[in-house]
Structure 1
Amino acid sequence: MMRASVLLISCVLAVAGCSREPAAPEAPAAVQADPAAVAAELDALLAEWHESELKANPIFATALGDLRYNDQLPDMFSASYRAEQEARERDFLARVQGLDRNALSGQHRLSYDIFIADRESSLAGNRFPAWMLPVNQFGNYGSFMAQLGSGQGLQPFKEVRHYDDFLARIARFPVLNDSAIANMREGIAAGVVQPVPVVEKAIPQFGAHAVDDVEQSVFWGPIRNMPADFPEAERERLTAAYREAIANTLVPAYAKMRDFLRDEYLPKARTGVGQMHLPDGKAWYAHNVRVNTTTDLTPEEIHQFGLEEVARILAEMNAVREQVGFKGDLPAFFEHLGTDDQFYFKTEEEALQAYRDVQQKINPRLEQLFDIFPKADYEVRPVEAFRAASEAGASYQSPSPDGSRPGVFYLNTHNLRAQPNFLVETLSIHEASPGHHFQISIQQEVESLPAFRRFGGYTAYSEGWALYAESLGKEMGLFTDPYQWYGRLSDEQLRAMRLVVDTGLHYYGWDRQQAIDYMLANSSMAESDVIAEVERYIVIPGQALAYKVGQRVIRELRNEAEAELGEKFDVRAFHRQVLVDGALPMGVLQTKIREWIAAEKAKAGA
């Protein structure tokens, strides 16, 4: 899983030309726009947009290795901040729309259309008060701040100035915290509140940082690991400053949010977990479905697709049961896989090493299917203890564009019974290479792309690619062990169940237990893992739909290419075409690949 970005509304797919028809021919006397001048103006506007993004979101700049705003932490929950961002979106939308699209071609036209649709989708989302829900157990700002301040995350702690930068961010944290509380109080008044189980999981996440001993705080990590070459006077100053900041700024802020959630917010939390239970909830969910899938698929269509896929994959799982000679039925096989110690790691280090070993196994095999590779490498790390209880089983954090910070494949070792060893090959492919690490790193390294495309993304594309990448395992000589193949099916089954459960929760009114029971009945997943998954879907409606929808589009495009090109089909060339332009909405990707297929056919016939 990776962080999502704003997506494109599918009716504005410019390459397909579905909504932006060419303007009528102008009168002969009219002066046609100079294509080179229009392209240059678009490049300048997109570069200006990226700079405005970095200023508006200094954490994003830090993630990209741009440290100009490394000491800043805006009050992103304030009404004034939201108003400023909406004004910025509208300004840039109008300025780009003011350019002559007909004078653009190739990548410039693609960038024009994607940028406009991104802005329109973002502005359409302003109708829904997501700002009233700033805290959940899956991705709250408090846990993210702790990751930043741990010394193991995005925030650098290599120079004295880096330490001072984060002290400045710490000083701003109570402002952010107070705005979050104010927004949640408005949410209580408006009936826009989180469900009870979400709040119950978030309370201890904030409480974990309200420590009595500052040296036991995760924020003490940079002091504990301070570079040895810092002058002694600076070491003493920074140690005292961090002790003061943790004790008198961070701990009170975290305790304040913990107490607010427990004493004031939890009693007002809702019992219905789906988005449909919020004001205008079904429309809100429909928007999230469009944003996350970049298609016009309805919740009903997605739910039915999920039911069909769950049934198909169950049949393939049963075939594995027969292959390994298990005598019981499929539910008994699930029970066997969930309880037999042979399928589980004994220690965290054993689990981490298994993934590091498969990293070395996969890397030399990539040349079979690819002729384009990332420059950056990745590391395998455990999810930090303070957020592990509510995190997904695995996730990925992208590298810095210059490669100075590697990508990170985070493995959740909180409950080793939720990390069966038969998932090693498929999970590594998905999160690392040739999945998220491969795709995101390549995208960042294509310097010819405008920055908003190099560093942006579409959930359906990125997660669809990672799930498609899992299907390449056999082509790379993996999944020879039937249990590893079962792991591949298990992972795909998770994504198929998501189609059913996400729409079930947010469109059909399922409750939390109904979703949990469905997943337990159709997989061998640990109950703790199922609960974490279901509670994730509750707080990010629609995101879980992107995986299978995106995978289906990419697989269908490959099938088309193979059928159309026959012996001329080159899988490495196909993968290059999918990857080289960065993340695209599904409709844009379809048009691009079909045009490539047509060009390859014409070339072969020449």
Structure 2
Amino acid sequence: MKTSLLAIPLAIASCCSLVACSNTTSTTNQPASNSVSAIAVSSTDSQLTQFLEKEWQRFISQNPEMASYYRLGDDTLHAQWSDLSLDAINQRHTDDQNALAELLAINKASLSKAQQLNFDLFRWQLEMAIDEHQYQSYLMQVNQRGGVQTLDNFANYVPLDTVADYERWLKRLEALPTVIEQTTVLMQLGIDTGVLPPRKTLSRVSGQLEKQLVENAEESLFYKAFKQLPEAFSEQDKQRLQNHAKTVIADQVIPAYTAFTDFFNQSYLPACRDTDGLSEIPKGREYYEHLVKYYTTTDLTPDAIHQIGLQEVAKNRAAMLEIMKEVGFDGSFDQFITFLRTDPQFYYDTPEALFDAYLAVSKRLDPELVKLFGKLPRMPYGLKAIPDAIAPDTTTAYYQPPSADGLRAGYYFVNLHEPGTRPKYEMEVLSVHEAVPGHHLQIALQMELGELPMFRRLQGFTVFIEGWGLYSERLGYEMGLYQDPYSRFGQLTYDMWRAVRLVVDTGIHYKGWSRQQAIDYFTQNAAKSKEDIINEIDRYITMPGQALAYKIGQLKLLALRDQAENALGDKFDIRAFHDVVLGSGSIPLNVLEANVQEWIDKQLK
């Protein structure tokens, strides 16, 4: 399992994935032998169930941020941070190795078909985590998208409803200096071993750290959670909690950040590398190959994915040129993109107007879902603005899943920073990806699959989650969206954006491309704003391989839909097809393919 505070829900919300497991064996593995008695099968199934539950408890106990985010586990977990000491990291690696040995001792042939799939998925998750440990990615603990410098934002995700909740949050604040010290030790080891991020992207962290250095505790980002305490609290409790917070922040939190900022600016940032690609760190090329498999659940090579990207870019560009003709634009492709980036008609003047427009788009989506899905999630979703402290350095939008206890809805977060860089023609396509029928519909449905073990209900495969989000963008046509040619161009822009990712991600991390070369290629091929493009390229540099999942997953989903439509003809039911695709939760692409083929075969009988 990944060992970093970057794996807490701040990053999860951005990536729309929890633990992004990778490839796994097919569901067509040999089923249980007919000679095995039902009692024996049941006994072995029970053995695996108990093992998976034990491992789930280990996972949340070693990742207490996850326990808080999903409101799970013992209350004591909600007062803790993950242990980032090197001893603890190595112990988790040993625990993973021991868990794999215990799993392999279970007789897979005696398991039911459903449990064989659980066995395969968890085995691959463990094998990928064990393999990743050798690359020491845990030494790169901060980046412009998160780390100890943005932990104040975690107050937006933890339960803060009762006096006891605030007391547990205060215990976390008291423990924060230890987390910062452990982070410093790991980053120093990164300096010593050469496992370092690029200086160009990491330079943004200095500004984020600066926001933590305040003279008055009441001005601290960590004090925001205490400014307006629930009205139900007694005045005595309010005063006690606020005074305690001020003391902890002034005496412990701010001094810890001051020391860390000095280390970061004076030692770490100067030591970071001038290169951009992962291949420039020790074992970096092999690590990227690992991440490609991890994020796509395929055996595609980086070179093959690069070529797929070039083909998809060419296809999208041809479709974009057709829309240019439709609107009668007299100029080159570059001039048309400049027109879209600069003409005031495509932008809102204020953050408030932009937010209201997102609300209006979201309201139009929900009634259209019944045409495409037989089963919809019970959990609703809401719309929120991305916090101001992180908005300048993060993406256009992201999705935050609901809590597992059903007390917090899902949320679609939108970036209102500099509304003049957020085009109107992107709003529909962005909303179907992040909200419905994209991330909220898929993830909320997955969380409601009560027959699945917890690791499958609350964890996922990026290629499925993001592939579904990108596939959902095409469903906007069937939902009556994209009526305006510029909105259709927006949909193509987003598809082009994901195609460009295949080219630039592999280019940066495997083919020696520079950051500027990647920015230039993106700028030449997509009508995204300059700010968005730079943020996106810096994201790909920081999160190698993750960006590949979107297009690879979407292409598989589109191919499977074509396969089903061609095989079934008039018997094809889009609602039933989508229910099959989403009915097993987030799964690797080969498992998805097997599920769809099984469904097709049943329809043809």
TM-score range, shorter chain: over 0.9
How far the C-alpha of 1:70 sits from its partner, in A, is 4.3
CA shift digits 1:339-368 (9 cap, x unpaired): 001101111111111111111101001000
TM-score for the superposition, normalised by structure 2: 0.95
- Partner SS, residue 318 of structure 2: helix
Question: Partner of 2:241: helix, strand, or coil?
Answer: helix
Indicate yes or no: 2:41 matched with 1:35. yes
2:347 to 344, 347, 364: 344
Look up the SS of the partner of 1:471 in the other structure: helix
What residue is the counterpart of 1:142 in the other structure? 149
C-alpha distance in structure 2 between counterparts of 1:591 and 1:576, whole Å: 15
The answer (yes or no) to whether the contact 1:199–1:261 under 8 Å persists in 2 is no
Which one-letter code corresponds to 2:282 in the other structure? P
Give yes or no for contact 2:68–2:78 (8 Å, CA) kept in 1: no
Provide, for residues 371-426 of structure 1, a one-character-per-residue CA deviation record: whole Å limited to 9, x for no partner: 11111111211111111121011111101123311111111112223311111110
Which residue does the alignment assign to 2:111? 104
2:211 matched to 1:205?
A: no
**Alignment check: 8 A CA contact 2:61 2:77 kept:** no
Distance 2:187 2:251 in 1: 24
User: What's the counterpart of residue 266 of structure 1?
Assistant: 269
Does 1:73 find its partner at 2:80? Answer: yes
Contact in 1 for aligned 2:180/2:260 (Cα 8 Å): yes
Whether contact under 8 Å (1:396, 1:432) holds in the other structure is yes
Would you say the 8 A contact 1:426–1:488 is kept in 2? yes
Shift of 1:441: 0.6
Counterpart Cα distance in 2 of 1:559 and 1:310:
21
Residue 457 of structure 1: CA displacement? 0.4
CA offsets, 1:440-477, max 9 Å, x none? 11101111110010001011000000000111011111
Equivalence for 1:599: 602
Q: In structure 2, how many angstroms separate the alpha carbons of the residues matched to 1:528 and 1:58?
A: 35
| Equivalent in the alignment of 1:410 | 413
1:113 maps onto 2:113 in alignment: no
Alignment of 1:120-135 (within 5 A): 120-135=127-142
Alpha-carbon distance change, 61 to 185 in structure 1, aligned in 2, over 3 angstroms: same
Distance 1:331 1:222 in 2: 46
Q: Deviations for 1:186-220, whole angstroms, at most 9, x for unmatched residues?
A: 11111111111122111111221111222222222
How many angstroms does 1:548 deviate by? 0.1
Q: Does 1:51 align with 2:54?
A: no
Q: Distance in 2 between matches of 1:316 and 1:251?
A: 53
CA distance in 1, matches of 2:590, 2:283: 28
| Deviation of the 1:65 alpha carbon | 1.6
3-state SS of paired residue (2:390): helix
Of residues 196, 203, 208, the one that matches 1:193 is 196
**Counterpart in the other structure of 2:68:** 62
How has the CA–CA distance of structure 1 residues 74 and 80 changed in structure 2, closer, same or farther, with 3 Å as cutoff? farther
Q: How does 1:17-416 map to 2 (within 5 A)?
A: 17=29, 34-66=40-72, 68-143=75-150, 145-149=151-155, 153-416=156-419
Per-residue deviation, residues 294-317 of structure 1 (Å, max 9, x unmatched) = 100001110011111111111111
1:448 equivalent to 2:451? Answer yes
- CA separation in 2, counterparts of 1:259 and 1:7? 34
1:8 positional shift = 4.5
The C-alpha deviation readout for 1:17-45, integer Å capped at 9, x for no partner, is 3xxx679x89x9x9997111111111111
* Contact 1:15–1:588 (Cα < 8 Å) also in 2: yes
- AA aligned to 1:14 is S
What amino acid is aligned across from residue 59 of structure 2 in structure 1?
E
Q: Which deviates more from structure 2 when the two are superposed, residues 357-366 or residues 32-41?
A: 32-41
Q: Distance in 2 between matches of 1:5 and 1:362?
A: 26
CA distance in structure 2 between the partners assigned to 1:522 and 1:373 by the alignment: 36
Partner of 1:4: 17
Gaps of 5+ in 1: none
Which residue identity lines up with residue 44 of structure 1 in the other structure? Q
Maintained 8 Å contact 1:61/1:69? no
In 2, Cα distance between equivalents of 1:116 and 1:367: 37
Report the Cα distance in structure 1 between the residues aligned to 2:270 and 2:158, rounded to whole angstroms.
36
Aligned length: 591
CA contact (8 A) 1:64 1:401 kept: yes
Q: Distance in 1 between matches of 2:81 and 2:239?
A: 29
- Distance across 2 between alignment mates of 1:5 and 1:365: 28
Asked whether the 8 Å contact 2:22–2:296 carries over to 1, the reply is no
Counterparts of 1:196 and 1:161, CA distance in 2:
41
d(CA) in 2 for partners of 1:396, 1:563: 34
- What amino acid does structure 2 have at the position aligned with 1:91? N
Q: Which residue of 1 aligns with 2:478?
A: 475
**In structure 1, how many angstroms separate the alpha carbons of the residues matched to 2:475 and 2:158?**
35
1:38 & 1:334 partners in 2: Cα distance? 60
Instruction: Name whichever of 32-41 and 99-108 sits farther off.
Output: 32-41
Q: Check the 8 A contact 1:446/1:454 in 2, yes or no.
A: yes
Further displaced range: 341-350 or 246-255: 246-255
Output the amino acid matched with 2:149. Answer: G
1:591 and 1:122 mapped to 2: Cα distance?
A: 25
2:21–2:460 Cα contact (<8 Å) kept: no
Q: Does 1:555 align with 2:561?
A: no
With 127-136 and 211-220 compared, the bigger mean Cα shift is at 211-220
Q: Tell me the distance in 2 between the aligned counterparts of 1:8 and 1:289.
A: 11
Preserved CA contact (<8 Å) 1:7 1:121: no
> Per-residue displacement from partner, 1:557-599 (whole Å, max 9, x unpaired)?
1111111111111111111111111100111111111111112
**Counterpart amino acid of residue 363 in structure 2:** Q
Residue aligning to 2:6: none
Q: Please give the per-residue CA displacement for 1:73-106, whole angstroms capped at 9, x wherever unaligned.
A: 2453211211221222222222222121111223
| Aligned mates of 1:75, 1:456 — CA distance in 2 | 18
In the other structure, the counterpart of 1:571 is 574
Percent of pairs identical after alignment?
Answer: 35
After superposing the two structures, state which structure 1 stretch, 213-222 or 420-429, moved more: 213-222
Q: 1:408, 1:2 → 2: CA distance?
A: 14
Q: For residues 447 and 239 of structure 1, what CA distance do their matches in structure 2 show?
A: 40
Distance, in Å, in 2 between the alignment partners of 1:440 and 1:301 is 30
Q: Which moved more, 1:82-91 or 1:314-323?
A: 82-91
Aligned counterparts of 2:315 and 2:388: Cα–Cα separation in 1: 37
Residues 523-546 of structure 1: CA deviation (Å, up to 9, x unaligned): 121111111111111111000000
Distance 1:445 1:319, change over 3 A: same
Q: What SS is found at the alignment partner of 1:69?
A: helix
Tell me the equivalent position of 2:544: 541
- For 2:259, give the aligned amino acid: K
Distance 1:98 1:32 in 2: 20
- For residues 216-240 of structure 1, what are the alpha-carbon distances to aligned partners after superposition, in whole Å with 9 as ceiling and x for unaligned? 2222222222011211111111110
Give secondary structure in 1 for the equivalent of 2:389. helix
> Tell me, which stretches of 5 or more residues in structure 2 are unaligned?
1-13
